[in-house]
Structure 1
């Protein structure tokens, strides 16, 4: 549904995006993640034709260009802040963009904003404005939806609601590109991840591929932990401690087992320590920084 190929973006003669390439298939929910200043919002704006770029961006096999936005007709978006008219009601804002009244009513029902639909938007809370922005992005059955921090300002109940809506639309074939700093929440809906760092795509994988990377560490318990530590130090095998356990990296665990075996130390417990999603992302970013030091 979306193809980004070798895209460069310069703003005020500074390169913000460098040779970015990734795909968003129909029905996929792709999380665009990365640290502040990585270029997430810039690349979203670029996909929407709001920023000059070189390279190729295609939406449903149609090229996005500075002068031709035909490809964007089937795209819904929420970037940075909801683009709403404060002196209009929520309903009036939606009617400005809606092409089908029944579709409008369905979207309103899905995002659960009936109770304040006829209030002026200037009186909306942050969460209410955010829901209205998401509703605007979902109007007219878009084939691609781009959401920048969609959970911003939403309470727990609203967050769960929007999560369900995203999954429902994705099951019907709508593609999503979503950025969020709340990785634990994004993880609950996304099927793939594009990691952006310093304007470059450093990873483009499905969630399944990413979470099946080799375990970073193993926790080890022997029948003599003091001796185990001494042996590891002597053999210059790195380790750390966590409670009663020794933590040994994936790269060193076989060497450690050999050392224990040759010195008649018995393993009582050996288990992978599964890093959570956020830790995996942080580790990957740290590895990238070391490569560029």
Structure 2
């Protein structure tokens, strides 16, 4: 659906995005994450042909360039702020972009905008404007949707509704590229992770692979913690004892099971320790900062 290859984006003579590459297939929900100033919004604008870049961007095998935007006919987008006309009603704003009035009516209902859709947009709250912007991005059955901070200004109920709507569209084959600072919400919908820092992509993998890679610690509980500690020490297996349980590395679990079996120590529990997604991202960024500093 989307193929970004070795894309470098410039603002003036400054490189903002540096040789970025990633793909999005139909039905994927890609979370584009990173600290402020990392280049998330710039990548999105570049995909939409709004900034100067080197490299290659293709949507459905059609190239995107600064002067050629035919590939964007099947793309919906919400970047930074909703592009709405304040002196038109919400319905009139949607009608400017809509080619399918039944689809427009469904979106109004699904996004819970029926009560105020006839009112002029200048009186809308931040959350109401945000929902209108999302509706514009989802009009006309897009094949790719790019959303920059879509949960901004939304209450809990609206956030849950948007999350469900994104999943419904993805299940029908729509691809999504979504940036958000609310990682706990993004975590609930994304199928792939793209982590960017200082304009460089440092993680690009499925969310399942990401979780497996970074959920490295396991909780170990046996019938005899004293003997277990002795066995782990003899095998030079690293562990942290927490009461009567042990925190061990995922890479060591097969050796641990073999050692316990040989010593006839019965295993009561061996389970991955849940890792907070936000903490994992912060750890990766800190590791990169240390590596850059040492270099």
Q: Distance in 2 between matches of 1:249 and 1:102?
A: 54
**Runs of 5+ unmatched residues, structure 1:** none
Shift of 1:182: 1.5
131-140 vs 157-166, greater mean Cα deviation? 157-166
Residues 79 and 147, structure 2, Cα contact 8 Å, conserved in 1:
yes
1:141 corresponds in structure 2 to: 141
Residues 29 and 175, structure 1, Cα contact 8 Å, conserved in 2:
yes
2:169 corresponds in structure 1 to: 169
Residues 216 and 274, structure 1, Cα contact 8 Å, conserved in 2:
no
1:17 corresponds in structure 2 to: 17
**Runs of 5+ unmatched residues, structure 2:** none
**CA 1:221–1:154: 2 relative to 1, 3 Å:** same
**CA 1:271–1:16: 2 relative to 1, 3 Å:** same
Alignment of 1:1-293 (within 5 A): 1-213=1-213, 215-221=215-221, 239-251=239-251, 269-292=269-292, 293=294
Shift of 1:127: 0.8
**CA 1:6–1:235: 2 relative to 1, 3 Å:** same
Shift of 1:224: 6.9
TM score, norm. by length of structure 2: 0.86
Q: Deviations over 1:106-156 (max 9, x none)?
A: 221221211100111111111111100000111111111100111111111
**CA 1:133–1:252: 2 relative to 1, 3 Å:** same
Shift of 1:273: 1.6
Shift of 1:176: 0.8
Residues 220 and 248, structure 1, Cα contact 8 Å, conserved in 2:
yes
Q: Output the aligned Cα RMSD.
A: 2.8
Q: Report the secondary structure of 1:114's partner residue.
A: coil
**CA 1:257–1:95: 2 relative to 1, 3 Å:** closer
